[in-house]
Amino acid sequence: MRADNDIKRDVEAELRFRPDIDEQDIAVTVSNAVVALAGFTRTYLDKQRAEDAAKRVAGVAGVANDIEVRLGGSEGLTDPEITRSCVQAIRSRVPGVNESIKVLVHHGHVTLEGEVEWFYLKEDAERAVHGLRGVSGITNSIGIRPGVKADEIRQRIEEALRRSAQVDAGRITVDTHGSEVTLHGRVRSWSEREEAEQTAWSAPGVTRVDNGITVGFA
């Protein structure tokens, strides 16, 4: 297990390395391999970029992202303006399913509701609004319509894990109950843990993934 001071040093270095992140107002603390990010950014997208950067560092077991989004004066859009912008962005990025997605905005915080057939569509809808002006936070409550048998879901996930160059499939066990998936095992990095979860979500019909994979070098 890596020392907290080493992880902290590498997270700070990763934040400085990223040209799309202004790290000057971001503070990093580490306790038992869990990284806490504090401070503020000027967009919600910058907040997510900082979190993604921390997750890529070796030895990170978890990330608590407490960064505050402080919008500049030019970002003071009204909620209806932000809503219209979100609807248009989703329509452009995810054509054909935008009518199944409802956008709610309160004080700049966007909530997405509705139901789609694939998890990637849920993710794409969220990504469409990430970098929009005035957005201070996002809650993605879009549901997934089930329709595939549990055995088929498990088989597809296991096959996808074996194909992945980023995941050691031999360290991961996949259990399914209906359309819900549970992952068990131990991997060497947070990014590998996330990759395994994303792989599970890629199977059609998956409505929930419980990621019980731990991170460690033992």
Q: What is the mean pLDDT of the chain?
A: 89
- In the 8-state DSSP scheme, what is residue 74? G
With CA atoms as reference, report the closest residue to 29 among 48, 14, 8: 8
190-to-14, 43, 54, 90, 120 alpha-carbon distances in Å: 15, 24, 9, 29, 21
Give the closest residue to 8 by CA, choosing from 67, 59, 69.
59
Give the model confidence (pLDDT) of 157-198 as tens digits.
999 999 988 888 899 999 998 889 999 999 988 888 989 999
If pLDDT is split at 50, 70 and 90, which confidence band does 145 have?
confident
**How far apart are alpha carbons 22 and 27 in whole angstroms?**
11
In this predicted structure, what is the pLDDT of residue 75? 57
Domain ranges of the chain: 4-69, 73-144, 150-215
Mean pLDDT score, 3-18: 93
CA-CA distance, 68 to 47, in Å (whole number)? 8
From 3-12, 71-80, 104-113, 155-164, the region with the lowest mean pLDDT: 71-80
Domains 4-69 and 73-144 share a fold: yes
pLDDT band of 215, cuts 50, 70, 90: confident
Q: pLDDT tens, 39-97?
A: 988 888 889 999 999 998 988 988 999 999 887 654 568 899 999 999 999 999 988 88
pLDDT at 36: 95
Output the pLDDT for position 217. 62
pLDDT tier at 140 (50, 70, 90 boundaries)? very high
What pLDDT band is residue 207 in, cutting at 50, 70 and 90? confident
Contact between 123 and 194 (Cβ < 8 Å): no
**4-69: which CATH architecture?**
2-Layer Sandwich (3.30)
One of 3.40.50.1100, 3.30.1340.30, 3.40.50.1000, 2.60.40.420 is the CATH number of 73-144, namely 3.30.1340.30
Kindly report the CATH number that applies to the domain delimited by 150-215: 3.30.1340.30
